[in-house]
Amino acid sequence: MLNFKDIIKQGKTKEEIFSAPDETKREKEEKNRFSYSENKDIPDNNAIYKEACEYLYNVGTSIRNNKPCDIEPCFDIAEKIIKSLQTTESFPITESRSQRTKSLLLMGFRSKGYTEYLIPHSVNVSIFAVKMGISIRYSKENLIKLAVSALMHDIGMFEIPRNLIESDSELSKEKFEVIKSHSEKGAQRIIKLSNGRLPWLAKTILHVHERENGEGYPHSLSGKKIDENAKIIGIVDAYEAMTNERAYKRRKSPFTAIREIIRSRKGHFSPNLVKTLLENLSVFPFGSYVQLNSKDIGRVITINEGMALRPVIKINYNSEGKQYKEAKIVDLQKEPLLFITDVVPEERLRYLNIEDK
């Protein structure tokens, strides 16, 4: 098991860690990835999510009270998140796989019941980032670094007054500058907490809000000057913020969020990462209800890699919400005459008496 102490001792340079692998290196990395093919146990995703939230809550409380906190547990939580998501890679496309897969991912789309959005937001960003890291074939070491960085990416926000963070009105330029300072505050906090032993983590946190075209902050970096993990966290941070509800704004559908990233924020993120986001988190996320051109209503149970608009659907209901005696699994990748016409919003699910578990 690669843990906190192992990574502290790493002697690799950033160039070695993030160099583009050729086929030989990729094969070596493949052998080094997590492998759980012999252990088909379903991870307790509720416990993982709760543990991550409680840890970040304690970190935030310690920082606000100017008390020390321990970074090491973050590595253990990161590994659990990776294991949960990685386990699903070896399962065939069946409903049972979707149940294993969707649980942790769906929590990322449906986090509710937390008084402070910063806590579930950071957990969700870590889940989404790891999913993307798995897709681009990150090594075990890189996945842990990515997960830890995502969990800690907003640690500097705990040093910002809560009335600014939770404000439901437009912030003045001066107040927004205070918010923007969280990147540097977070990097400095990590250096202090780790006694300077985790420079890669501080750098990632510092770069999360930099943008590909140089329009980000705090240093207006662009392109290759931006840390690679920060690029992944940056795009899923924006996506998560749009797709989860806050006290001061309604959530946007994944479809709308993707469209905004492609159109309104064009140039902020690399095209390859936008493509990876689309393919892995999809405009139709795990567990969402959709309506087909046949008028049937079903739940997305698997996203087909490279075919984000044509997932696997479990059809349970007709257009009036009447449940079929036997559900039918339909892989839209293999059904050219069927396609999704719309995502069924929660309001309509309630109207049709469809229980959205």
DSSP state of 19: S
Q: List where CATH 1.10.3210.10 sits in the chain.
A: 4-280
Which residue type sits at 288?
S
Contacts of 345 (CB under 8 A, 6+ apart): 253
Task: Provide the token pair at 267.
Answer: 């140039």
Task: Give 107 or 187, the one with higher predicted confidence.
Answer: 187
Task: Provide the token pair at 271.
Answer: 């095209």
Mean pLDDT of 96-117: 61
- Strand 323-331 and strand 289-292: pairing? unpaired
340 sits in which H/E element:
strand 340-343
DSSP letters for 88-141: GGGS-SSHHHHHHHHHHHHHHH---S-SSTHHHHHHHHHHHHHHHHHHTT--HH
Q: According to the model, what pLDDT value does residue 54 have?
A: 95
Residue position matching structure tokens 């309104």 = 264
Which residue type sits at 215?
E
Q: Are 261 and 211 in contact (CB under 8 A)?
A: no
pLDDT more than 90, % of the chain: 48
Task: Give 214 or 15, the one with higher predicted confidence.
Answer: 214
Q: Per-residue pLDDT for 2 more than 70?
A: no
- Strand 289-292 and strand 340-343: pairing? antiparallel
Task: Provide the token pair at 235.
Answer: 């795009």
Residue position matching structure tokens 């709308």 = 256
List, in sequence order, every residue forming a beta bridge with 249; answer none if it has no partner: 246
Task: Provide the token pair at 36.
Answer: 């759980």
Q: According to the model, what pLDDT value does residue 199 have?
A: 97
pTM recorded for the entire structure? 0.76
Mean pLDDT of 59-75: 94
Three-class DSSP category at 171: coil
Task: Provide the token pair at 54.
Answer: 């409680």
Task: Give 149 or 249, the one with higher predicted confidence.
Answer: 149
CATH topology of domain 4-280: Hypothetical protein af1432 (1.10.3210)
pLDDT digits (tens, 9 = 90+) for 256-271: 788 888 887 889 999 9
What's the angle, vertex CA 150, arms to CA 149 and CA 151, rounded to 5? 95
Residue position matching structure tokens 């257009």 = 319
* Long-range residue pairs from 296-301, CB within 8 A, at least 24 positions apart, any chain: 297/321, 297/344, 297/352, 297/354, 298/327, 298/330, 301/95, 301/98, 301/99, 301/102, 301/329
Least confident of 15-29, 125-139, 183-197, 266-280: 15-29
Task: Give 91 or 64, the one with higher predicted confidence.
Answer: 64
Quick count: other Cβ atoms within 10 Å of Cβ 274? 19
